[in-house]
Every structure is written in C-alpha cells, then in structure tokens.
Amino acid sequence: MILTILTLFPSTIEGYLRESILRIAQEKGLVRFRLVNFRDYSTDRHRTVDDRPFGGGPGMVLKPEPVFAAVEDAEAKDGPYRKVLLTPAGRRFDQALAREFSREERLLLLCGRYEGFDERIRLGLRWDEVSVGDYVLSGGEIAALAVAEATARLLPGALGDPESAEQESFTAGLLDFPQYTRPRVFRGMAVPEVLVSGDHEAVRRWREEAARRRTAERRPDLRPESDPKAGTGG
C-alpha cells in the first residue's frame, strides 16, 4: 500500500511513522508512507495556501489551487488514490472503515488547517469524508495518524501475531476482554482462577462472556441487534 498524507506540517507526523507497528510495516514492505507538504504546490512568491473567506468571518480558509495540484501530481505519479478528506462533517471513522481502507492499494489523506477548506476542494475531487470524533482539533494531522495506524496495522503481516487483529476491541462488535499477566496477585488483586486453570475452552468462554459484559456495561451501543444475549447483561 502507498499511503500519502497531504499536510502543511509533515514534521509533526514524521517521528510517529518511525516507531512501533508503523515502522515494522514499512520495514516489511507492507506500506510506503509519503508526506507531501502542499505548500510546495503554491505558485506565488509567498507560497500562500490560505486566504480570507468571502462574506467575511474569522480566520483563514485553505485555497483550492495547491490542494488540487498536490492531489493531481500524486495521482499522475502513482495512479488513482482512494482519497480521504478529514472533516467533522464526515462519516465517523471506525474499525470497519479501517479494514476497508486496508484493502486499498493507494490511500491519500488530506489534513485541513485554519478555519477549514474552500468548498470547491470537496466538490471538485472525489473524497471519502471522514471524522475521527465530535471534537475540534487545530488540524488534521492527529486524525491522519489515527487513520493511518488503524489501517496499516490491519495489513496482513503487520502484527507479530496474526490473531491479534481478530481478537481486538470492535472487531466483533465487542470491547476486548480484561487482560492479565504476572504477578498472579498484585496488591491484593488476583488473576481470575480460570485464566491459570489450563482449560482452554473454559478460558475462551470466560473471555467471551467478559467481553460481552464489558460491552453491555460501557458501550451498549455496540451490541448488535442480532446478538441473542443483547440486553441480558452478558
């Protein structure tokens, strides 16, 4: 996969891409990240990427010319991208969408800044509009990293244990079950006996029940209507 991020602040992203799962995925040749500063596509001597909004109002708005030029250049070099516009007006990003993105050969993310972007950016290019939550960020870089990591870690081979991605929160519409490690007792809190019983089927049942109970208590909105245990408290 080629994952291109259009941003005015590539240095805020570079360090994170060099660590942990994202570094490993690159070393394995599973994903190639490209950071493109779309200021480089501005044609005036001041390298302008924003301007005051027509009709007045506070702040500045991203201009269409540099963004169009950056997107068109990326597609001329690599071929068509699935393009993602990070915006509060978009579809809520979730695990299902991350899995969908992970099947793409090329993914491009546009990080907004300032008071937003010229509407012609949205209208003139074919985007998936995506939001990472109902809150305000100063720009799209943190959102882009969330999308990039959630997507790249689902690429086959990115995780050391291939079952990890199948047993995580949200994968089956449930939160993850509680996890424990050594020591068996810490400050009076003991590991549940079933987890050290050696009975793999009992462990599986306990984990499934614990995941259902935790989801019912903390995120009942995730429970699928077809779940025969939905509404029973797990």
Q: Is residue 10 located within the same domain as residue 120?
A: yes
End-of-domain residue from the set 152, 179, 213: 152
Burial class (CB within 10 angstroms; exposed 0-12, middle 13-18, buried 19+) of 102 = buried
Same domain, 90 and 198: no
Helix (H) or strand (E) holding 154: none
Report if residue 230 sits inside a domain.
Answer: no
Same domain, 148 and 173: no
Same domain, 19 and 127: yes
Distance CA 113, CA 137 (A): 9
Residue 7, domain member (yes or no): yes
The answer to whether position 232 is within a domain reads no
Is the sign of the CA dihedral 88, 49, 76, 6 positive or negative?
Answer: negative
SS3 call for 142: helix
User: Going residue by residue through the chain (234 aa), what tens digit of pLDDT does each one get?
Assistant: 999 999 999 999 999 999 999 999 999 999 999 999 999 999 999 999 999 999 998 999 999 999 999 999 999 999 999 999 999 999 999 999 999 999 999 999 999 998 889 999 999 999 999 999 999 899 999 999 999 999 999 999 998 765 555 555 566 778 889 999 999 999 999 999 999 999 999 999 999 999 999 999 999 988 654 444 443 333
Q: What is the pLDDT of residue 228?
A: 43
| Domains of the chain: total | 2
> Are 20 and 89 part of one and the same domain?
yes
Do 73 and 186 lie in a common domain?
Answer: no
Give the span between the Cα atoms of 203 and 194, in whole angstroms.
6
Tell me the whole-structure pTM to 2 decimals. Answer: 0.84
Judge whether 23 lies within some domain. yes
Judge if 56 and 109 occupy the same domain: yes
Which pLDDT score, from 0 to 100, does residue 232 have?
Answer: 34
Structural domain includes residue 58: yes
Q: Which of 152, 185, 207 is the last residue of a domain?
A: 152
pLDDT of 97: 97
* Structural domain of 188: 167-222
Query: Is the residue at 158 inside a domain?
Result: no
Is 134 part of a structural domain of the chain?
A: yes
Report the pLDDT value the prediction gives residue 224, as an integer from 0 to 100.
55
Quick one: 172 and 117 in the same domain?
Answer: no
Instruction: Assess if residue 162 is contained within a domain.
Output: no
Same domain for 171 and 71: no
Q: What is the CATH number of the domain that holds 72?
A: 3.40.1280.10
CATH number at residue 189: 1.10.1270.20
